[in-house]
Every structure is written in C-alpha cells, then in structure tokens.
C-alpha cells in the first residue's frame, strides 16, 4: 500500500487508510510510538501501562510515615470559622 506524505504547517503527515486503521484498531486520539529503524519508519500502538496488583501497592505503604492524632476532636468546640 502506498501513501503520500503531505505538508501540514511546519511538519509533514501521513494519512493512514481507513481499512488499515480498522484492521489495527486505530481511532481518533490513539497514541502511536514512532521510530526510525535503518531505512524505515516504524509506528506501533502504545501499550497500556501494566496494572499493578493491590498486594504490590499495599507493600509500599509505610505506616510509620503517617502522623497519628493524639487528641480527639471535641464535638462542642469549633476548629475553624464554623458557627454552631
């Protein structure tokens, strides 16, 4: 399949034919990684960031970093500008 390179502003663009876009699952706003390899331009769909498990996220929590409240808030005293 042959496509043309067109000038757009200070850059150039390549239009991807609809049939190829449908085959690759490309739509408006899809991110592509573009690179050069020897004498070729390679475009790849960006993969999703791998999901981290809840276990690995919880393992990074350090309870010692959090300050503990030593006094409880009284229901009758105001803290800010609220009026009771």
3-state SS, 61-76, equals CCHHHCCCCCCCCCCC
| Best CA proximity match to 1, nearest among 27, 25, 28, 20 | 20
Q: pLDDT tens for residues 11-66?
A: 999 999 999 999 988 988 888 989 999 999 999 888 777 788 999 988 988 877 76
- pLDDT value of residue 23: 92
- Please state the rounded mean pLDDT for residues 59-78: 69
At residue 67, the pLDDT reads: 66
Going from N- to C-terminal start, the domains of the chain cover 5-45
pLDDT value at residue 8: 93
Task: Name the burial class of residue 28, with classes exposed (0-12), middle (13-18) and buried (19+) by CB atoms within 10 angstroms of its CB.
Answer: exposed
Q: How far apart are CA 48 and CA 31, in angstroms?
A: 10
CA quadruple 57, 62, 65, 68: dihedral, nearest 10: 100
């Amino acid at each position: 399949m042959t496509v043309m390179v067109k000038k757009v502003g200070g850059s150039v663009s390549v239009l991807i034919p609809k049939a190829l876009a449908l085959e690759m699952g490309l739509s408006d706003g899809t991110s592509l990684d573009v690179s050069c390899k020897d004498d070729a331009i390679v475009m790849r769909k960006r993969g999703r960031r791998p999901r981290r498990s809840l276990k690995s996220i919880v393992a990074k929590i350090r309870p010692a970093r959090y300050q503990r409240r030593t006094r409880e808030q009284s229901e009758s005293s105001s803290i800010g500008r609220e009026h009771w």
